[in-house]
A and B are shown apart, each in its own frame.
Chain A
Amino acid sequence: MKRHQYRADALIEVLHKAQELYGHLTEDRLLEIAHSLHLPPSRVYGVATFYHFFSLTPQGEHSCTVCLGTACYVKGAMELLATLETESGLRAGSTSADGKLSLLTARCLGACGIAPAVIVDGNVAGHADPEVMRARVRALLDED
């Protein structure tokens, strides 16, 4: 915040940094940001909830992001997502109760050539097969 001279228009940069440092945004942190940047709390909350990138709940140890862009959709991304939802017992956009896994979706990863694409812990997996992905998710969930 200091780097941005506590400027109100640096809100998004500050939120980015806070999420990077702490993993997610808590209400206390949002309130602190609002006070420091002299912004109304409702504005800060509004911005934090508008962008999918910002998360107000803790993210899982592992993450699995299924691309739902047009190309991936055509190549069966919904089927893939449904398989992973049943396997993990999670709904897209949520985290398992033990904090192991977050199942997420993305609009488009820009990797349409390898559709359907999935990102597991930052690694892109192309031409994702539902059965293979099911096994990978199972492995992440069962890991100690």
Chain B
Amino acid sequence: MAARTLTINGTLISARSNETVLEAAREAGISIPTLCHLDGLSEVGACRLCLVEIAGSAKLQPACHTTVTEGMEVQTDTPRLKAHRRAIVELLFAERNHICAVCVASGHCELQQLAVEVGMSHVRYEYLSPDCSVDISHARFGIDHNRCVLCTRCVRACDEVEGVHTWDIAGRGTNARVITDLNVPWGEATSCTSCGKCLLACPTGAIFSRGSTVAELERDASRIATIVAARNERW
């Protein structure tokens, strides 16, 4: 495999000729934020968070989809890129109903982590507040469309790794939703093998394990009184 030499943020780096800018940067310890990228799955270049500046090109290029070339000069962290990334994350938040405080993934959420990384203190765009459903028809998992960012990681994991393709995207624009089979409730999707790879692939709390949501963590405080009453009767 031929080697290519390029500079990322002024640092000289050598990479294999078939590597993407993203892979080369990560190997060199330079972090580029991503959302739709997941090691092991194909690239779709949908989230645009990994956009980088390449000398000689006025257009920004997605690092996950750009192969390294000899003498390439890449910048990954300019003010222009930072502004774009923050805008992208804000738009993701504005598009659905992301409420971290009641989310199963809070603290383990890639979207939340990204918001922290890009320094998003508030959202400058008007929230669309779409009317999204929650589907808990599956015995083990649930999907909350309010938290879905349409990264298609579940779609690709199901298709490429499990080889089933239960998931896909229906509709377009703001009406796009991930669906199972012919837009049937997940529990009725006959092709689903309940393998849970979509759960592993989901960057947010959109796909979750049943029993892990805030509403399901019920506590019955009256049991304390029952115990005390029972003890009083006994002694």
Indicate which residue in A41, A44, A50 contacts B191 across the interface (CB closer than 8 Å).
A41
B180 lies within 8 A of A42 (CB): yes
Q: Is the CB of A43 within 8 A of B168?
A: yes
CA distance A40 to B179 in the complex (A): 12
| Complex interface bits, B176-190 against A, C-beta within 8 A gives 1, otherwise 0 | 000111110000000
Chain A residue with minimal CB distance to B177? A49
Looking at chain A's contact residues, the main secondary structure is helix
A31 to B191, CA, bound (A): 12
Central interface residue in A27, A42, A45, A49, by most chain B CB within 10 Å: A42
Minimum distance in angstroms from A104 CB to a CB of chain B: 16
Which residue of B165, B167, B182 is within 8 Å of A27 (Cβ)?
Answer: B182
> In whole Å, how far is B153's beta carbon from the nearest beta carbon of chain A?
15
Contacts A42-B182, A50-B172 known; list 6 others, CB within 8 Å: A40-B159, A42-B179, A43-B165, A45-B168, A45-B179, A50-B169
- Cβ-defined partner of B168 (8 Å) among A30, A31, A42: A42
Query: Which residues on the A side are within 8 Å of B171 (C-beta)?
Result: 49-50
Chain A residues within an 8 Å CB radius of B172:
49-50
Q: Which residue of B lies closest to A48 (CB)?
A: B170
Is there a chain B Cβ closer than 8 Å to A46's Cβ? yes
Residues of the B chain whose Cβ atoms lie less than 8 Å from the Cβ of A40: 159, 164-166, 168, 181, 191
Residue interface mask A17-45, B partner, CB < 8 A = 1: 00000000001001100000000111111
> Are A45 and B182 neighbours in the complex by a CB distance under 8 Å?
yes
Number of interface residues of B (CB under 8 A): 16
A50 to B168, CA, bound (A): 11
Q: How far is the CA of A30 from the CA of B183 in the complex (A)?
A: 11
In the complex, which residue of chain A has the Cβ closest to the Cβ of B167?
A42
Residues of A within 8 A of B191 (CB): 40-42
Q: Are the C-beta atoms of B165 and A45 separated by less than 8 Å?
A: no
- Sample of 25 A–B contacts (CB below 8 Å): A27-B182, A30-B182, A40-B164, A40-B165, A40-B191, A41-B182, A41-B191, A42-B168, A42-B179, A42-B181, A42-B182, A42-B191, A45-B170, A45-B181, A45-B182, A45-B183, A46-B168, A46-B169, A46-B170, A46-B179, A49-B172, A49-B183, A50-B170, A50-B171, A50-B172
Task: Give CA–CA (A25, B179) in the complex, Å.
Answer: 18
In the complex, the answer to whether A49 meets B164 with C-beta atoms within 8 Å is no
> What residue in chain A is nearest B170 (Cβ atoms)?
A49
State A50–B182 Cα separation when bound (angstroms).
13
Q: B166 — which chain A residues lie within 8 A by C-beta?
A: 40, 42
Bound complex: CA A16 to CA B137 (Å): 33
B183: chain A residues at CB < 8 Å are 45, 49
- Which A residues are in CB contact (< 8 Å) with B169? 46, 50
Max chain A C-beta neighbours (<10 A), residue from B166, B168, B171? B168
- The list of the 10 closest CB pairs from A to B, nearest first, reads A42-B168, A40-B165, A46-B168, A49-B170, A41-B181, A41-B182, A49-B171, A45-B182, A46-B170, A50-B172
Chain B residue, CB-CB nearest to A51: B172
Contacts of A30 in B (CB 8 A): 182
A82–B183 CA distance with the chains assembled, in angstroms: 32
